[in-house]
């Protein structure tokens, strides 16, 4: 009896898939998420949870090293797939599933055995912490069991942490790479944190800790206390995270003391397509685009953003409902077929006391500050915190669904999903520039919520580069 083959076939019957999106790959990601849902294949939030790594979109040299790090972190048995276009998704998934079930393919995937050339040390053993990043509690999911109109259990907050939030507890795995690098894996909102190395920082020279871990540096916090200071980049390939965005944080405890954007020219060498602003790009090029078509794309984009926020907040079931509505909108479903489901989503999410409690007073952006920063769209109209922004999304989605049959031509002044479309200064550029200011002084779990509530689309910057190249 081929016991190994039986186990591999069992794993391939319903693999957990980690989807990573490349710049310009939004349409491929959407197609992959739809196929995974139809097959009832669960999504993975971290490499430790995944059986299959799926790369969506055209290759990107800048992100290739990050993709390879994710691939090395997948435990065996494993397989990988890459679809450059939406039409390639189904075949890529089938081929990867076949490799996952093949004993011969898995033997080829086995990494070479590592040898330790260091002399033996009596009584000493390397230690490492390896958690699968699943310690967070999806408390919104539990609260929803009390009924649509019933009372919801509110998570406790202790020592500055939301003890019920999936984004408030972190498990860690760190290892010493070829250049003194670290990798930090956490379950903040069930997301993977890809930590590029800072070996030797903190003034400890070549001192090696158990497992090759460098010690954290120290510095004064906001209260004048001397605490450990850890440099942690978020991105560029986190789950439910803007594609290509990298934020470099300085943490003391779970508080962000400083936040900076990675200024690597991500789109300088290869302009990309921006899926969500296609109606506005076509209208600017002289094509006839109806207001109803633009409203459909805008509503789908905001449902996509809402789904990300709900996953980060720990409510995956309601996120799935938002994504189903998104996919039906993109498939051309009429407004009458969506009205009742959208009403239920708005009632469940908009009236959730637990979600409101989690997001209130987090990432406050006033209308005045938004205008000064050049921010437009729902983030500016919301005039408030994360809770105000997701409620603004729900209001805007309802208005857009009511306009799906509008035949009038698209007004160039009509806003795109993230704000007023301007090829010279895409609305997401202002959202990205605003992130360091909003994250400064927040808890790490709250930082994930803030980013998800703004959800900048870096493909807009790539579309800007594409238009500039075309004009040149």
Residue 80 has pLDDT above 90, yes or no: yes
Least confident piece of the model among 149-158, 324-333, 422-431: 149-158
For residues 101, 132, 20 and 428, what is the CA-based torsion angle, rounded to 10 degrees?
A: 170
d(C-alpha 427, C-alpha 447), whole Å: 20
pLDDT digits 0-9 by tens, 15-41: 999 999 999 999 999 999 999 999 999
Half-sphere exposure of 278 toward its Cβ, with a 13 Å CA cutoff? 14
Domains in the chain: ranges and CATH: 3-109 (3.40.50.12280), 277-471 (1.10.645.10)
Least confident piece of the model among 153-162, 262-271, 403-412: 153-162
pTM: 0.77
Half-sphere exposure of 396 toward its Cβ, with a 13 Å CA cutoff? 30
Judge whether 379 and 348 are in contact, CB under 8 Å: no
Mean pLDDT of the chain: 78
Number of H helices, E strands in the chain: 17, 9
- Who's near 444: CB < 8 A, 6+ residues apart? 167, 170, 188, 249, 251, 254, 255, 256
Local structure of residue 111 (DSSP, 8 states): P
Residue 410 has pLDDT above 80, yes or no: yes
pLDDT digits 0-9 by tens, 190-231: 434 443 434 334 444 444 444 444 445 555 555 555 567 788
Half-sphere exposure of 164 toward its Cβ, with a 13 Å CA cutoff? 16
pLDDT digits 0-9 by tens, 36-79: 999 999 999 999 999 999 999 999 888 999 999 999 999 988 99
pLDDT of residue 264: 64
Top pLDDT among 276 and 185 is at 276
Judge whether 53 and 80 are in contact, CB under 8 Å: yes
Handedness of CA 104, 105, 110, 111 (dihedral sign): positive
Average pLDDT of the segment spanning 143-148: 47
Judge whether 261 and 432 are in contact, CB under 8 Å: yes
pLDDT of residue 235: 85
Judge whether 242 and 429 are in contact, CB under 8 Å: no
pLDDT of residue 86: 95
CA distances from 353 to 150, 288, 324, 356 (A): 10, 44, 23, 5
Burial 112-151 (b: 16+ CB within 10 A, else e): eeeeeeeeeeeeeeeeeeeeebeebbbbbebbbeeeeeee
Task: Please report which helix (H) or strand (E) contains residue 434, including its range.
Answer: helix 427-439
Handedness of CA 216, 218, 221, 223 (dihedral sign): positive
Share of the chain above pLDDT 90, in %: 56
Three-point CA angle 403, 404, 405, nearest 5°:
95
- CA neighbor of 259 nearest in space, from 246, 273, 278: 246
User: Please, where are the H alpha helices in 288-334?
Assistant: 291-313, 316-330
pLDDT of residue 424: 78
pLDDT of residue 10: 77
pLDDT of residue 102: 81
d(C-alpha 393, C-alpha 410), whole Å: 21
Residue 180 has pLDDT above 80, yes or no: no
Which residue has tokens 């989690």?
Answer: 358
The CA radius of gyration of the chain, in Å to the nearest whole number, is 23
pLDDT of residue 224: 56
pLDDT of residue 106: 79
Average pLDDT of the segment spanning 5-12: 78
pLDDT digits 0-9 by tens, 118-143: 444 433 333 333 333 333 334 454 44
Q: What are phi and psi of 256, to 5 degrees?
A: -80, 110
Top pLDDT among 458 and 169 is at 458
Residue 142 C-alpha from the chain's centroid = 23
pLDDT of residue 61: 86
pLDDT of residue 55: 97
For residues 91, 37, 244 and 410, what is the CA-based torsion angle, rounded to 10 degrees?
A: 100
pLDDT digits 0-9 by tens, 429-456: 999 999 999 999 999 989 999 999 999 9
pLDDT of residue 110: 67
- Who's near 105: CB < 8 A, 6+ residues apart? 79, 98, 99
pLDDT digits 0-9 by tens, 275-320: 999 999 999 888 999 999 999 999 999 999 999 999 999 999 999 9
pLDDT of residue 201: 40
Residue 359 has pLDDT above 50, yes or no: yes
Which pLDDT band, with edges at 50, 70 and 90, does 11 fall under? Answer: confident
- CA neighbor of 228 nearest in space, from 262, 211, 192, 203: 203
pLDDT of residue 128: 34
């Amino acid at each position: 009896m081929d016991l190994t083959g039986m186990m591999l076939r069992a794993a391939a019957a319903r693999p957990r898939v980690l989807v990573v999106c490349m710049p310009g790959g939004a349409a491929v990601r959407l197609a992959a998420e739809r196929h995974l849902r139809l097959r009832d294949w669960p999504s993975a939030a971290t490499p430790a949870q995944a059986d299959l790594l799926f790369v969506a979109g055209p290759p990107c040299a800048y992100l290739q090293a990050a993709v390879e790090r994710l691939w090395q972190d997948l435990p065996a048995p494993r397989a990988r797939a890459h679809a450059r276009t939406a039409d390639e998704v189904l075949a890529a998934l089938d081929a990867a599933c076949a490799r996952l079930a093949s004993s011969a393919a898995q033997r080829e995937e086995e990494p070479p055995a590592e040898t330790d050339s260091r002399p033996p040390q009596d009584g000493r053993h390397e230690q490492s912490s390896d958690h699968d990043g699943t310690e967070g509690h999806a408390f919104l999911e539990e609260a929803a069991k009390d009924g649509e109109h019933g009372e919801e259990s509110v998570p406790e907050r202790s020592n500055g942490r939301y003890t019920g939030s999936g984004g408030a507890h972190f498990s860690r795995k760190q290892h010493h790479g070829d250049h003194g690098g670290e990798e930090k894996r956490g379950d903040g909102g069930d997301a993977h944190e890809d930590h590029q190395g800072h070996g030797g920082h903190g003034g400890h020279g070549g001192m090696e800790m158990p497992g090759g871990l460098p010690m954290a540096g120290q510095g004064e916090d906001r209260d004048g206390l001397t605490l450990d200071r850890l440099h942690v980049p978020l991105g560029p390939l986190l789950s439910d995270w803007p594609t290509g965005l990298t934020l470099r944080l300085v943490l003391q405890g779970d508080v962000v003391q400083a936040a900076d954007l990675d200024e690597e020219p991500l789109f300088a060498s290869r302009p990309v397509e921006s899926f969500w602003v296609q109606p506005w790009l076509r209208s600017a090029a002289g094509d006839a685009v109806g207001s109803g078509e633009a409203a459909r794309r805008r509503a789908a984009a905001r449902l996509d953003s809402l789904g990300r926020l709900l996953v980060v907040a720990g409510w995956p079931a309601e996120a799935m409902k938002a994504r189903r509505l998104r996919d039906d909108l993109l498939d051309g479903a009429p407004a009458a077929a969506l009205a009742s489901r959208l009403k239920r989503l708005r009632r469940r999410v908009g009236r959730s006391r637990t979600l409101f409690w989690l997001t209130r007073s987090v990432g406050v952006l006033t209308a005045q500050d938004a205008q000064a920063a050049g921010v437009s769209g729902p983030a500016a109209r919301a005039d408030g915190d994360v809770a105000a922004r997701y409620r603004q999304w729900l209001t805007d989605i309802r208005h857009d669904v009511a306009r799906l049959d509008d035949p009038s031509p698209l007004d160039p002044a009509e806003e795109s999903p993230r704000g007023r479309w301007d090829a010279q200064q895409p609305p997401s550029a202002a959202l990205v520039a605003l992130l360091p200011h909003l994250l400064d002084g927040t808890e790490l779990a709250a930082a994930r919520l803030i980013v998800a509530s703004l959800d900048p689309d870096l493909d807009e910057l790539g579309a800007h580069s594409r238009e500039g190249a075309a004009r040149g």
